[in-house]
Amino acid sequence: MTTICLSIGWNDLQHRVVKNKSVLLLAGILAFSIFLFDSKIHLIQASLVLISGMCLWKVGVFGAGDIKLASVFAIFIAPDYSLLVLFLMLVIGGVEALLYLLIRTTYPHLIRHGGIPFAIPIVISGFFGISASI
């Protein structure tokens, strides 16, 4: 799971793309973990993430890959931790945005793509949320 999460974050950083194959592979591994750890799935929570995420995607706030990734993580995060995970995601995303702004103003040649690679905060906070939910 860690390798897939690192791959998703790196690919988003380099190309601003979250590949469907990676998200499906992550979902498959997490689904298999239900049997290993006797975990529960949280479809209502994931549906809320997907629906609200689609609205944010429609207005251009997030990419569709970020929404799919967050929805997969939301399936496996216990509702007790969902607000904490959301807060952590927003804090990490804010720090990432500040660093990105600093790099863009100081070393503009290092920035190849527009937008913030938000898969990185999603992966970090989602990994934390799943670990806490087990």
Each residue's pLDDT, cut to its tens digit, for the chain (134 residues) gives 899 999 999 999 999 999 999 999 999 999 888 888 777 888 899 999 999 999 999 999 999 999 999 999 999 999 999 999 999 999 999 999 999 999 999 998 888 888 899 999 999 999 999 999 98
- In the block, which residue shows the tokens 């927003």? 90
Q: What share of the chain is helix, strand, coil (3-state, %, to 5)?
A: 80, 0, 20
**Angle 4-113-106 from CA coordinates, rounded to 5°:** 110
Tokens of 88: 């952590």
Domain count, the chain: 1
State the distance between the two ends of the chain, measured CA to CA, in whole angstroms.
14
pTM here?
A: 0.92
Task: Indicate the residue type of 35.
Answer: F
Range of the domain at 62: 1-133
